[in-house]
Structure 1
């Protein structure tokens, strides 16, 4: 017996096969969608949450290797749709069946099939799917920001593939919300250290008093609250990977201590006399650009060279052409499961609204907007009205729909120079090429 609310997609280039399956299933489930062209799969998945996909393995009558089916199976898995895939083929081959199951297919059937067998296979797949939902946690979290087919994200994936097997230090650059921590985790999971610890530290949030104790550890009695020996994060990551997030926000004094440890490959816990050798692979991340890091008043160049053997720039979401729909479908499925809601279809107007938004908060902003939409939705179709973007995020100057006026460019330039010179009017005026009086006039004009 099939669940009445199930949605099934059938992909086959044989119109007779499509008609036969649609007639068999249409009275048993909520919806049966048929399609002859496999190139439409990702578009269909972006709009509808299917429970099961029945996929032919050969779409070229002259070649019967099954490679096309495997290719589209992988694409479906990468899309994050959550649909289970049943592969069908007219060419029985035990090796092909084993290969299909290894690639993630839920079942493998031979044409011509018996109707009872096909219905039974779908019922079994849906039963397993339902059972898994009861204990579902949000999985694949480590790959959400890497999900995509854009040129921009593929360039990042190529770099990860090259650098991961090495022990090279990596500096990950990118705006807030682009998934720098996920890139770091992906590098670790594809490295020779994958079975050893992956330790993350948000060094930008550590106070000067906590910095050394947190990173390098301390001995009992080293300071007032040191009631026992404690390993620092460097020691905890021994043999594995240490990920220092927001590295651009640490002080020059902290940078000097960090540089010493990296050069000597050893740490000395607070209150200890003997150094402890460390073996780590270092990954750092920051939302500050390299041009700012290169300012020696803010960051040591010798430390940049130490942490930046390889640099990976994570693209903002607005530069990931075509990825928004894939990510949207993924997050909607994740939160539908999390909040025990039925599958959702995505209205075309909602998809257009997503693609028109500049996403200053990047993937993180997309994720939270869709989580809210799923929670507040009153039916199983998400539309543009369900989508509300957070007022927390300011519109990016790089947004696709945003053109700056000359006054806005001048104001932004003045702000940047003032910040760089820490409010020093004389120094800022010289750098801008204007007099102090002229700078004061502009400050008054822009309300600064």
Structure 2
């Protein structure tokens, strides 16, 4: 990334420092945001994306140990591990510098800094950020697998391990979690990446279409067969065949599929000549492994055949801050697509996003952000810009409902605050609490 396209956040309790850095950088970067209070870091970083953070090591009223800077550094890196942080302090201390670098800081600078050194440091960091992002999303260049949670990182690690092999892969996960993106990513990082990637929504094929679509047919094989037709297995020759929704096929279809996988040959309809196949098989289903183990609905020998390695794609509700990361990703994408300015999120918009259960997972989030960007009258998205389709609400599963008093209290607070569009005074009054008591509960539940 070039310096001129960067968005920088500066946190320092010294107004003179903030003014000096803003004057230095405002003509060199896209945007500089300054703030005196480190308690605002989390809110600022969730409502807007930053490429780098310049953070003071000491704040008012504290001994100049740098511990507060380390504390806020840990806060930033815990939720935004990919954001680079430059720590600045008026007290040069080699031990403090080593501590901060060990905790994840990218650089450590002493006040007063040299302007050319500050600009050079930021320039080098952003070049490194661009390179590291290229490496980080190497698995997702085309598939846009976005996220930084442990849950999605586990998926990416598995992809990296299995992609170069010839192992058959079974991808499990709820509808809308991105199973097809995982399959594409495996193909793109495999030795077959220059060969075809062929997808079949196998669950939608009728009994009459199953064999003709998968295995092909010869001219005259049936009434409408006016010419030879290559099946999906042959179309994927040398590459990857992705069978989506495999859990929905009948036992008879499973038997036919198993025979082809065992023999590595297909026989087109209307022919007696077997055609050898060389494909890498990836399957996906929204069924759980325990449901697949039910032999009344799925053959166990076929499960073993398609499942050398299984990859479970987590639902969005289990991906923590990825909801915010993905929301920014989709907002940026659709702002560009529809010729709008880069979108920022209001606290109320962010609150609504983070506390929606997303039964439709990433697909639901994507559609919600596209609609919000289209309907927004300005580049600051508000809670009223965000609407969720009724079609998904009936799918909210029972395990998402609160099961204890703390969950009930937390969800009640969230609902009341959302209904009052984030107004704490109104929410406290409706809940029968003082503002102070409500703030205590918000802190208790980390809201």
- TM-score bracket, normalised by the shorter chain, equals 0.5 to 0.7
State the match for 2:300 in structure 1: 301
Question: What is the TM-score when the length of structure 1 is the normalising length?
Answer: 0.67
What secondary structure, in the 3-state scheme, does the structure 2 residue paired with 1:209 have?
A: helix
Change in Cα spacing, 1:337 to 1:307, as seen in structure 2 (3 Å) is same
Tell whether 2:362 aligns with 1:363: yes
- The whole-number CA distance in structure 2 between the counterparts of 1:355 and 1:90 is 34
- The whole-number CA distance in structure 1 between the counterparts of 2:375 and 2:243 is 37
- The whole-number CA distance in structure 2 between the counterparts of 1:17 and 1:230 is 71
| Equivalent residues of 2:173, 2:287 under 8 A apart | yes
**Greater alpha carbon shift after TM alignment, 233-242 vs 35-44:** 35-44
Deviations 1:134-191 (A, max 9, x none): xxxxx956124x4232x22222222212211211111111110111111111111121
**Deviation (angstroms), 1:9:** 2.0
State the match for 1:322 in structure 2: 321
What does residue range 128-147 of structure 1 map to in structure 2 within 5 Å?
142-144=143-145, 146-147=146-147
State the match for 2:22 in structure 1: 22
- The whole-number CA distance in structure 2 between the counterparts of 1:45 and 1:140 is 25
Deviations 1:24-66 (A, max 9, x none): 565899952147999998864531266x76988865856999x
Deviations 1:67-104 (A, max 9, x none): 97889xxxxxxxxxxxxxxx9435999xx998676446
Deviations 1:216-265 (A, max 9, x none): 11112212222221211111111111100000111111111100000000
- The whole-number CA distance in structure 2 between the counterparts of 1:304 and 1:187 is 20
Q: Which runs of 5+ in 1 are unaligned?
A: 1-5, 72-86, 106-138, 405-448
After superposition, the CA RMSD in angstroms is: 3.9
What secondary structure, in the 3-state scheme, does the structure 2 residue paired with 1:228 have?
A: coil
| Equivalent residues of 2:155, 2:312 under 8 A apart | yes
What does residue range 131-280 of structure 1 map to in structure 2 within 5 Å?
142-144=143-145, 146-149=146-149, 151-280=150-279
| Equivalent residues of 1:49, 1:343 under 8 A apart | no
| Equivalent residues of 1:54, 1:88 under 8 A apart | no
Change in Cα spacing, 1:253 to 1:101, as seen in structure 2 (3 Å) is closer
- The whole-number CA distance in structure 1 between the counterparts of 2:264 and 2:276 is 6
What secondary structure, in the 3-state scheme, does the structure 2 residue paired with 1:231 have?
A: coil
- The whole-number CA distance in structure 2 between the counterparts of 1:70 and 1:261 is 54
- The whole-number CA distance in structure 2 between the counterparts of 1:70 and 1:226 is 65
State the match for 2:282 in structure 1: 283
What secondary structure, in the 3-state scheme, does the structure 2 residue paired with 1:283 have?
A: strand
| Equivalent residues of 2:10, 2:32 under 8 A apart | no
Deviations 1:118-141 (A, max 9, x none): xxxxxxxxxxxxxxxxxxxxx956
What secondary structure, in the 3-state scheme, does the structure 2 residue paired with 1:230 have?
A: coil
Aligned length: 347
Question: What is the TM-score when the length of structure 2 is the normalising length?
Answer: 0.67
- The whole-number CA distance in structure 2 between the counterparts of 1:181 and 1:7 is 32
| Equivalent residues of 2:86, 2:106 under 8 A apart | no
What does residue range 416-431 of structure 1 map to in structure 2 within 5 Å?
none
**Deviation (angstroms), 1:306:** 0.5
What secondary structure, in the 3-state scheme, does the structure 2 residue paired with 1:269 have?
A: coil
| Equivalent residues of 1:10, 1:53 under 8 A apart | yes
- The whole-number CA distance in structure 2 between the counterparts of 1:89 and 1:61 is 19
**Deviation (angstroms), 1:395:** 4.2
Change in Cα spacing, 1:43 to 1:399, as seen in structure 2 (3 Å) is farther
State the match for 2:32 in structure 1: 32
What secondary structure, in the 3-state scheme, does the structure 2 residue paired with 1:392 have?
A: helix
What secondary structure, in the 3-state scheme, does the structure 1 residue paired with 2:349 have?
A: helix
- The whole-number CA distance in structure 1 between the counterparts of 2:42 and 2:222 is 59
Q: Which runs of 5+ in 2 are unaligned?
A: 55-83, 88-95, 108-117, 135-139, 405-447
Q: Which runs of 4+ in 1 moved over 3 A?
A: 10-21, 24-31, 34-46, 52-65, 67-71, 87-93, 96-105, 398-404
**Deviation (angstroms), 1:399:** 5.2
